Structure 1
Amino acid sequence: MDIEILKSYPLCHRCFGRLYAKLLHTSNYERGRSIKMTKAIELESKLYDLKERSGGVERLKWGDVEEEIKKIKEELSYLYRSGLTEIRAIEGLEVDSSKCPWCKGIFQEKNLEKILEKTLKLLSEYEYDTFLVGTLLPKSIKKFEERIKTPYMESIKQEFNRTMGKLLIEKTSKTVERENPDIVILINPYKKKVKLQITPVYIKGRYRKLVRGIPQTRWPCGYCKGKGCEKCNFTGKKYTTSVEEIIAGPFMEAFKGKSEAFHGAGREDIDVRMLGDGRPFVLEIKEPKVRKVNLEEIGEKINKSGMVEVLNLEYGTRKDIISFKNKPHKKTYLALVECEEEVSDKELSELEKKLENLTVYQRTPQRVSHRRADLVRIRKVYKAWTERIDPKRFKLKVYCDGGLYIKELISGDDGRTSPSVSKILNKRCVCKELDVLKVHDE
C-alpha cells in the first residue's frame, strides 16, 4: 500500500478504502481503516526497533537513525491526519473527517438524514413501486477522482447510490430497479439537492376514428401558433378537437400527468375515417402522479364520445413506440371515386388488373408540399377491387404499401403521381371520400 496519496490528500477511512474497493469483500470504511492500521503497525514497529537499537551497541550513526525516525514519524502523521488517531507516536494534529477532499463529509449521518428527508417529501406526491438512485457529482469531484484513480477504485457515486438506496428501501419498502424504474432519484449530495425523474406511463391500443373533420393530433392555430387569437376564438387551435385530445383527456385526468405525447402508427387525413380494427397507438403520460388505473373504465369513457373508439388497451413501454415507428405497415383503403365521364364495367375490370402489383412513382403531393420534402416516393399497389355505384361513381378498395397517397393515386395530381387511376381510365377522376379499413401490423 502506497500512503503517498495521504501526504497530498488526507482521505478519510471510507474514501481511502474506496481506492481498493475491488480487492476485499467488506465495506469501504472497514477496508480503509484496516489498510491504514496495518501500515501504522508496520511503521510503529520499525520506530520501536530503531529506538531500541539506537540505545544498544549496533554500529549505527545517530544522524542516520534520527533521519529514519523522522521519516517514519512523517509517514505516521499522514495516517493520523487522515483519521487514524489510534497512533501512539503522534499526538496533537488536527483531524476533521468533514475535510476529506473526496467525500467532504457527505456520508455523515446529519447530511444523509437531511437528504433523505428532502427525498421522501418529493416522493410523497407520487405513486410508485420501484426506484433507482443516481448521484450527480460536481466537476471538481470528477476531476479529483481522475487524479487519484487506481485499478481497484470505485467512484464515490456508486457508494452513495448504495447507501441512499438502502435508506430508502428501509423507509419506503419499495424496490430498487435498474432497468426500468418508476422513478429515478437524482441527488447532488455535496449541495444537498434532490430532483426526481419520473418515468412516463405508456398506454398502447388501437383507435377507430368514426367521423370526418378531426385531425389525429392537436393542431395549433396557424395565425397565433397556439397562443390564442380572434381567428381561433382564443382556443389556440385550428380544429376544436382531435383524436389525441379525445383519447388523452380521460387518461391525463386519471393518471394526473403533467403532459402527454400521442404516437400513432402513421396518420390519416382530417377528412379520412379510420375504421376496421383501428390504428395502433401509444399514449405517453409524462410525470404521472398515479401509475395504476382501470384501463377498461377509461376506454368506456372515451368510446362515449361518438367520434373515437379505443380497443385492446394495455400498459406498454417505450419500445412499443420504436417498434411501430420504425416499421412501415401495409394498408387497406376504401375510396369513393367520382369520374368526369361514365365508366364501363369493362373499364373497371381492366382497372383492377392494371392496379394489381403496380409500382407507383409519387412525387410529394401539392397539398402537402409546404410541409413535406419534395421527393419522389416509390410505392406498390398489391391488389384492388372495384364496385359500381352509378355510371360515374364507384368504390375502390386498395391493398398497398404504407405511405402511398391514395387521393393522388386516383387523381394523378397533375402528373406528379404515375401511373394513376385517371391515367389508366383516361378520365379525370377524384376521390370524394376515403376510409382506412386496416393497418396491417401483424
Structure 2
Amino acid sequence: MNVVNYEILKKYPLCNRCFGRLYAKLLHATNIERGEALKLFKLLELEAQIKKAKEENKSYDEELKFLKCIVKSGIEKTRLLNEIKEEDIKKEVCPWCRDIFNKEKMEKLLKKVENLLKNYEFETFLIGTHLPQEIKDLEKEIETEFMESIKQEFGREFGKMLALRLNKSPDKEYPDIVIHINPYSEDIYLQINPLFIKGRYRKLVRGIPQTRWLCRKCRGKGCEICNYTGKKYPTSVEEIIAKPFLEATGGIDEKFHGAGREDIDVRMLGDGRPFVLEIKEPKIRKIDLEKIAKEINKDGRVEVLNLEFGVRKDKVFFKNTPHRKTYWALVECSEKISDEELKLLEKELENRTIYQKTPKRVLHRRADLERIRKVYKVKTSKVDDTHFEMIIYCDGGLYIKELISGDDGRTNPSVSSILNKNCICKELDVLKIHDDNLLEKID
C-alpha cells in the first residue's frame, strides 16, 4: 500500500507545509517538518534511480522531470542541481496556501484583529477561518484520509499568535468573541457572543407582564393607541431587570428566557422563577452582579436573587425543562361552600390527571390542543361562605384559572365540576417553581 501520493506534486507544486498537511494525522510532527521529510525521501529515491539509469546508459527524463517538480515546490536539497537549468527550478507559489502563512501577512492580520478588538472586553476567543470556494474545491480534489483542512491549521496557528499577543485564551466551547477571517482576501469581522446572567426573580405586584409586549396595532413602531411607546404595557419584568445590565455592559439588545411565565395579574413569590438574561454584543463583561441586583431590587416591583454568570446551554435548560409548581389561589363560588365540600375537593384532586384544552382566553395566540397534566396535592382553607383559598401542587403548564372555572368544559375535571358550582379565580400567586420533580409536602 502506497500511503503517500507523490503524483500530486506533478500537478500542484505544494509547499512543504501543504504537502505535509495531506498526512497530518500520521506522523507526530509539524506539517512543514512532515512535508520536507516526505519530499527528501522522494528526492533520495529519484536521485538513486537517475544514478542507476546513468550507469546503465538508460533514459531518465521522467525521473528528472519529477525531481524538478519537487524542487519547484520549495525544496532544493539535491546533488543534481548543477544539472538543472535555473529557469527549470524556479519556485512556484503553492496553489493551496498561496503564502497565507507568510510572517508579514500574519502580522498584518494580527494588527487588523487587534484594532477591531480594542473596544471590547473579553477573556476567551475562537478563530473562525473562511476559505474561498476554489480552495475548498482544491481540497476536495487532493484530499487524503489523513489530511487536515488548511482552515484548521490556520485557525490553530493564528490563534496561538493572537493568544500570545493579547494574553487571552482560545475556547472552542464558549468563546466570548469569534474572530472570522478569510486569510486569502484578508476580510475580517467579529462575532460578539452574548453574555448570559442567570438567577431567579420575584414579581411582587400584579399588573406587569413578564416580557415586553409590543403594541398589536403598530408592532412596536409607535402609534396613538400605545401613546407612541410601541408597547402594550408601560414596563415588564424583563425591562426592569435588563435595563441596568444593558447600561453596565454596553450591550445593543437583550433577550429574556424564563422557566415558564405567569399572567400579568399573577404574582411570582417564594424563592422566585429561574431566568436567563441574554445580553447581545456586550462591550464590557466584568460587571458587579451584586451591585446590579441591589439596583434592580430598589424598584420594589421586582426582585432578583442568586445572580451568577451563565452559558448558552442554560437558556435551553430553562426553556425546555418542565418544572412542577405550587400555586396559591383565592376562589369565589356562586353559592355557599361547606367545609365538607372542600375536603371532598382535596380528595378528588389529589393525584388527579387533568385534561385541558387550550383556554379560550389564549386561543388567539396558542394552538388549540389538549394538554394532559397532573395535580398532585391540594389544600384548601375557607375564607367566608363563598370564598376559599387553595394551595395547588401540580405539573407545569397547567392553567390554574381554567382548572378552577372549567372554561365551559374545556378543562376536565375542574373545581367547578367537582363542586357543581360556578367558581372563578379572583387572585393567583405562584409560590414555588420546583427545580426538582419530587413531591413536596404542602403544609
User: Which residue matches 2:16?
Assistant: 13
Aligned to 1:130: 124
* Whole-Å separation in 2 of the counterparts to 1:50 and 1:358: 94
Aligned residues of 1:208 and 1:274 also touching (Cα < 8 A): yes
Structure 1's unaligned 5+ residue stretches are 55-64
Residue 377 of structure 1 deviates from its aligned partner by 1.5
Are 1:356 and 2:323 counterparts? no
1:31 aligns with 2:26: no
Aligned length: 429
Partner of 1:189: 183
1:336 to partner: Cα distance:
1.4
CA distance in 1: counterparts of 2:91 and 2:248, whole angstroms: 52
Asked if the contact 1:332/1:439 (under 8 Å) is kept, the reply is: yes
Question: Which aligned segments of 4 or more residues in structure 1 are displaced greater than 6 angstroms?
Answer: none
- Check conservation: 2:68, 2:89, Cα contact below 8 A: no
* Paired position in structure 1 for 2:90: 95
Equivalent-residue separation in structure 2 for 1:14 and 1:376 (angstroms): 62
Q: From the CA coordinates, give the structure whose radius of gyration is larger.
A: 1
CA contact (8 A) 2:257 2:318 kept: no
Match of 1:411 among 381, 392, 405: 405
Q: Deviations over 1:82-138 (max 9, x none)?
A: 2234551322136355x3111111111222122111111122222122222221122
Aligned position for 2:360: 366
Q: 1:82 to 1:398 in 2, by over 3 A?
A: same
Equivalent residue in structure 1 for 2:69, among 78, 96, 121: 78
Distance 1:346 1:43, change over 3 A: closer
Deviations, residues 55-100 of structure 1 (Å, cap 9, x unaligned): xxxxxxxxxx2xx232222112211222234551322136355x31
* Equivalence map 1:32-47=2 (5 Å): 32-47=35-50
Using the size of structure 2 for normalisation, the TM-score is 0.92
Q: 1:286 to 1:345 in 2, by over 3 A?
A: same
Residue 115 of structure 2: aligned partner: 121
Distance 1:69 1:206, change over 3 A: same
Task: Say which of 434, 437, 442 aligns to 2:428.
Answer: 434
Q: Residue 180 of structure 1: CA displacement?
A: 2.2
| Matched residue type, 1:12 | C
Letter in 2 for 1:8: K
Percent of aligned pairs with the same amino acid: 62
Conserved? CA contact 2:403–2:411, under 8 Å: yes
Contact 2:71 2:91 (C-alpha < 8 Å) held by counterparts: no
- Residue 104 of structure 1 is aligned with which of 95, 98, 104? 98
Counterpart of 1:178 (choices 172, 177, 188) is 172
Of 257, 271, 277, 1:277 maps to 271
Q: Residues 80 and 93 of structure 1 are in contact (CA less than 8 Å); yes or no, is this contact kept in structure 2?
A: no
Structure 1 residue 48: Cα displacement: 4.1
Which stretch of structure 1 is more off in the superposition, 37-46 or 137-146?
37-46
CA contact (8 A) 2:127 2:155 kept: yes
- Is the partner of 1:92 in helix, strand or coil? helix
CA distance in 2, matches of 1:34, 1:431: 81
- Contact 1:3 1:75 (8 Å CA) reproduced: no
Cross-structure match for 1:298: 292
Give, as a single letter, the amino acid of the residue that structure 2 aligns with 1:175: S
CA contact (8 A) 1:387 1:395 kept: yes
Residue 45 and residue 264 in structure 1: after superposition, are their counterparts in 2 closer, same or farther (change >3 A)?
A: same
- 1:319-353 deviation line (CA, Å, top 9, x unaligned): 32232333221111111111222222332232222
1:154-233 map, 5 Å: 154-233=148-227
For 1:184 and 1:256, how far apart are their aligned partners in 2?
A: 18
Contact 2:373 2:398 in 1 (8 A): yes
2:377 corresponds in structure 1 to 383
Q: Please tell me the residue identity of whatever aligns with 1:202.
A: F
Cα pair 2:174 2:311 within 8 Å, conserved: no
User: Could you tell me which residue of structure 1 aligns to residue 440 of structure 2?
Assistant: none
Counterpart contact for 1:263–1:283, Cα < 8 Å: yes
Partner of 2:232: 238
TM-score by length of structure 1 reads: 0.92
Q: Which amino acid aligns with 1:34?
A: A
CA RMSD of superposed structures (Å): 1.9
Aligned counterparts of 2:317 and 2:386: Cα–Cα separation in 1 = 42
Using the TM superposition, give the Cα deviation of residue 369 of structure 1 relative to its aligned residue in structure 2, in angstroms: 0.9
Question: Do residues 253 (structure 1) and 247 (structure 2) align?
Answer: yes
